[in-house]
Each structure stands twice: as structure tokens, then as C-alpha cells.
Amino acid sequence: MRDAKKMLGLAALVATLSMTGCVSKDKYNAMVSERDSLRTQAQAARMEADDYRNQLGAVTEACAGKDEQIVALSSANSDLQSQLDEINQKYAEVLERANNPLPKSLSDELAAFAAANSDFVEFDATKGMVKFKSDVTFAPGAAEMTPKAKEVVTRLSHILNAQGVSEYELMVAGHTDALPVQRAGTIKAGHTDNWFLSAHRAIAVGKCLQHCKVSPSRMAMVGYADQHPVASNMSEAGRAKNRRVELLIMPVKAQAVSADWLRYERPKTSKQQAHHKDASAQTDQGPSFNK
């Protein structure tokens, strides 16, 4: 009996030791697994840190390039602002002139041209100005000239390229009525407000003149939106008069364009935003025919 009890005690001890040895191995395996996991995470963290360092280096390099672009753009904007100030001054001077600045022969020829194309243009002999009526020169809310309007510009180019006139400076100024741009198609085409629409129409007339061999060094193109009305914006008849593109003929010799300016290339950026003024909103008027 006593031997049997010893046998039973020994069996219990062996079982206990066996069980204790098994638990220790599990803990060991768990620690090894945890160590391997931490090692893998550390390697991943190092790789991520290296990636971030590479990205930071690229960003730093890009920022240095952006700084150079900003300096170049600031200089270009300053030059363009000076040009715009000069254009605005010339425009104001032309509008204030009381006497016809053009030679009589040229004034008479332009008057005859306007009379022959009265559906599209008017001629102001006092200011030496040809006015294109936007409602027939362009489709509603658009800056693409109609085929007939291009024919009229082609006829006008013959006068502007004639001997004695071919060196005169020209200014093309676009104007709109005071109603905000509302047509979805107009906005989608990039004419997001009256400033854009007026400028794009002036450019369209200027480009058409260039296509007809009128030298670009003679021309300035600018948009004034609704800031220079010639009639009341309270009626459709008045708004129609305000929607116009003016061609001002200045009997002064155009200066040759600078070679440095021709070589200038504006730095390219990934995102360029056009800064412009907000057109004046008038809430008491209905939708415009030409917007």
C-alpha cells in the first residue's frame, strides 16, 4: 500500500513537471514570435522614415524651384501691370479727345466703311474709333466671331494696312453690359464673368486682325467689363449699346516689340489661378440676351 502511494505520488510529480515544461515552451515561442513581429515593424518603420526623408528632400528641392518661379512671375506681373497702366492711360486720353485726331482722308474712308457695314460697326470720327456691335459680331455669350463679322474685319484690315496708316497704334477694347454672366455654356467656355468675356472678345477681334496681316506690335487688347457704359443698363436697348468692342486708331508710330519680351517664357506651374475683379451685380434686372 505504501509503495502504491509512492507510485501515485511520483506519477503526479511527473505529470506536474511535464505540464510545467510545456507552459514554459509556449511562453518562449510567444516571446520569439513577438520579437520577430517587433523586428518586422521596426524594419517597416525605418523604410517609412527613409521614404519620408526622400519626400522631404524632393519637397525642399521643389520649394526652391517654386521660389525662383515666384520671383519670375512677380517680375512678369510687374511688367504686365505697367503695360496695362499705359494702355488704360492711352484709352482715357482717346476718350477725352475733343477733335478728330485722324487725317481727313482716313477719317472719310472709315466713315464710308462704317456706312457700308452699318449692321456690324459704327464710326466715331471725333475719337477715331470703330465700334463693333457685339450682338452681331459674336454669338450670345460667346467670344468666337461670326463668319460675316470676320469678313467685315478683313475689309477693315485693308484700310489699316494701307500706306500711311500701317504704323499707327491700335487699341482693341472689349465692353459688356452690367448684367452678370449666367449662361452655363458661357461659363464653361471660360468666360466666367464680364471681365473675362470683354477681354476674350477684344482678343478675338485682335487675333482676327493679326490673321489679316495687321502687325501685333501695333496692338493692345484689353477688357473693361461693364466699367465704361455708353448708355443706361436699365433697358435692353441701352445694354445692347454697351455690349461692344472698340477699335481705337491712334496716329502715332507703334514701337517695335522688345526682343527680350518675345523670348520671355512664363514659368509653368501645376496650378495657375487667374485673379480678376468681380463684376458688379444688379439684382433688379432680368437675364441678358448676350449672357
What is the separation, in whole angstroms, between the first and last Cα of the chain?
115
| Residue of 204, 194, 191, 190 lying closest to 247 (CA atoms) | 204
Please give the Cα distance from 138 to 290 (Å, whole number): 9
Top-level class of domain 97-263: alpha beta
Please give the Cα distance from 183 to 202 (Å, whole number): 20
Please give the Cα distance from 87 to 184 (Å, whole number): 32
φ/ψ of residue 234, rounded to 5 = -85, -10
pLDDT per residue rounded down to tens, the chain (291 residues):
555 444 445 445 444 544 554 557 777 777 767 777 777 777 777 777 777 778 877 777 777 667 777 777 777 677 767 767 777 777 776 666 645 578 999 999 999 999 999 999 999 998 899 999 999 999 999 999 999 999 999 999 999 999 999 989 999 999 999 999 999 999 999 999 999 999 999 999 999 999 999 999 999 999 999 999 999 999 999 999 999 999 999 887 765 443 333 333 344 444 444 444 443 333 334 445 456
Please give the Cα distance from 253 to 126 (Å, whole number): 20
Full-model pTM: 0.62
